[in-house]
A and B are shown apart, each in its own frame.
Chain A
């Protein structure tokens, strides 16, 4: 820690932010074209989308590489570290609110819109005139609405794969914490083992989640089209799965960075940020297990 570290740090100019804006635009422009293309004419949009996604991946790689190099060069003082931490915490808070929108939708549908369609409280007339034979209930008997959108389906039982996945994610939170303690104590071998274990548990979770989806589509006829039950089920678990995927990739990157010796016991914000993110993903899963699978 040299004398300069007491002064403010303002990073050098960088083209990555502008590159990021360009590739993000490319991605969504391609996606929008693809979604609006005539059937059989999706080629242009798909190509642009693919270019955009590759660009986004390349951008992350390049931007993070430059930041890691600056970090290794010792450019970041304590104040920068605090800014990074605040940035990550508020980013996770924004993610919480994003999931909040979908959980809110789930609660509203289960507490209000489905019972109302069944004729309780506020929805008497809708029920009487449009769907008088609809007996409102959640799950397989009515979760796809009065018009039985998507046809009859069964739900995924909570005490099979979902329970296993809960145990997997909870264990992975323990292993990542053990790795963190090992990092503070400076035991690199132990970090690699337990962080590696965390990555494997993440991958295992995703594997089981994929199995569950395949079973839902093939055996249970539970699909994204299965009325609002299918919508909430797949959107909530799907966005969560996406976050687990990102988290696993991030953990894997951190594993390689540990291998290269990027962290020491006082200076490992990258590790902690990913660990926070992993715990956040874990907590969201507990909400899912409770409200999507059990109740």
Chain B
């Protein structure tokens, strides 16, 4: 299985080529730059370096969000279009799960990935290594950092916060669960496409056409509209062929 893995869900961009159980190339860039400008050139360069042709790929794995709306969409658009036009498999993995997998396998401890979501909110989830396997304990969510810290406190187990953005909310986390927190080496706080590929390797392929980002949040206008129209039955139908 030849996998191209793509994560552009936050400022960091990570792309990897994996051949079965071997990592061929991984490129992780953490500079503030536009993913639309840097993603495709990175893929092209890495494929060239690996001497792979697009037709050699068998699966695309993409971090499907949550994260920056635009960032996630760039990764998902490139991934689903590549998979669709090459006729190969597409797999989406939670962007939070990719980061959670960087946690240490400490029995009974929680891996808690954190992405800043502005206005005191975060995207986060609750994961745990059980018998060497990463298991999702709580669904990924969009929540206030303070609320999440209070929730983690009552879990009482050791907590590994993951991601650079944890630092933006360290006050809340230190206050509520100071004793529970386990410090990890710096390298663990960055999502890696090689890890993403690994997570994506064991999953069933998606329906490519229907695949879309996991935003975990409605657009603000839509949220307001739904609140004003509580009786409206969802079912799409918004798109019309001309």
Q: Do A and B come from one complex?
A: no
> Which residues of B are interface residues toward A (Cβ below 8 A)?
none
